[in-house]
Structures are given as C-alpha cells and as structure tokens.
Structure 1
Amino acid sequence: MNPRITLVTLGVDSVDDAVSFYRDGLGFPMQDREEGSDIAFFALEGTWLAVYPRTLLAEDAGVGDPDEESPQSQSRFSGVTLAHNVSTKGEVDAVLAEAEAAGGRIVTQARETFWGGYSGYFTDLDGHYWEVAYPPLTGE
C-alpha cells in the first residue's frame, strides 16, 4: 500500500446545508456538482473532502441501517470514511488483502459500484472505516 489519504467523506444530515457551510461560509473550492446530486466534492490542497448523506454512506460501507440498533449499526460508525484511491481494480483487491492480513476486518468485499468504479471497505483495529477505491477517472 502506498500510504496516502485521497478523500475524506463526512456523512451529513443535509448535503445542501454542508455545501453552504463549506463553500459559502468557509470558501472551500467545490468541484462542479450536477443538479440534484446527493454528493459534493471540495478540492483541498493535498486531498479532497466529500459530504454525502450519513445514511447512504453507512449503506455504502456495509454498516446497515444507522437508525437501528444492531451489531453492524451506526453505533460503531462515526459517519466518517477515509478513502485510498488506487490506479487499478487489482490494486483494490491487493490493498484489501493487505489490510486483512494486518488484522483489519473486511466490511464490504470489492465490487463494481453504482458510480462506475470498483471499491471495498475495511476497518482498522479501532473500527475506523477505510474505502479502497479504483475511480474510473484514474484510468485502468
């Protein structure tokens, strides 16, 4: 694994309110956003920040319904994920295997995503969620 964080995603209650806060209030430069999109990206120096509905982020990470109490509920999910983007789908699989071998827990096996990429999730020893992703914009 080439150690880097390429994206921090905050699970939020309202993407529009978060956009107003980060873009309008703090002046974060925002990537173009399609009307009605449920995610917003801010290009920061050194990394990206994304805001995304908390329930959808929990679902994407394979956590389950954040409003229900269950072993995989949001009670262990902080609403924050760290992303490590790689250049190929094979690298996604390799990094997930590396994380598991180091004692991490695979939460979501690597799979094709609704947004056209390929990703999976693991948690570290303290339960922090990491997404390992091949976004098509990097080109394979």
Structure 2
Amino acid sequence: MEARISLITLGVRDMARATAFYESLGLARAEGPDGVVAFDLLGQTLGLFDLEKLAEDIGVPVDSLGHGGLTLAHNVPSRAEVDALMRLAEDAGATVLKPPQEVFWGGYHGYFADPEGHIWEIAHNPFSPLRSTDGAFRWQGYPGD
C-alpha cells in the first residue's frame, strides 16, 4: 500500500447544510456523481455522502458508524491563520470545542465540530513547516525547502 489517503468521506445527515458549511470555509466544490459532494484538496478529495446510504454501501447498520475517535487536521503556516480559520468555521456554523491555544508540544491549535459533528483540528506546527510551493504538510516538514 502506498503512503497516502486519496479520499476522505464524511457521512452526513443533512447534505445541504454540510455542503454549505464547507463551501463557506472556502472549499471549491468539484463535479461528482449524484448523491456525492466532493471538494478537491491538496492531493486528496473530501467527500460528503448521505449517512444512511454510506451505511448501506458498507453493509452495516447506520448506528454502527458513530463518530469514534477520529479527527481531521488542517495545518496552516501561522498562529494568526489558526485564529482566523477558527473564527471562519464558527461563523459558518461550527461548534468550537477547544479555542485556539498553545499546546504542550510547542505548537498552537484549536478544535471545532462541523454541523454534523465531525471534528477538525486547526493547527500551526512550527516543527513541521508547510512546503513553500504549495502548502503541503509532512511530519517534520520539508528539509531544504
């Protein structure tokens, strides 16, 4: 298996609300098949899919999907951008779970839940600088960049 994730699919109960939320964060909607809303990211795609249909596709009861202990992280180049993106998410309907603050490992981050309860971390990690050409993230950064 290659070390990458191609598609992250979030099961949602209210497709219109979830779509509007991610569009209000500035994500550009890509064309997709009926029933799927896709947003192209840097090297991946974020997909929204009806929760009931997702459970049916997997072949499990919808109650078994839950939310679990998964978080999605979005890294930004500065503390100020953490603050700005957290405000943008809250204005768009997110619930702030942890306001932006310094963290024990030396970075700065906050957490919010989207309108469907999916948890996002917005972080600035000074030990993993983003690639200067495109903002890509890699653990411990890009040496020589």
TM-score normalised to structure 2 length: 0.44
Higher RCO (C-alpha 8 Å, min separation 6) = 1
Under a length normalisation based on structure 1, what TM-score does the superposition of the two structures give? Answer: 0.45
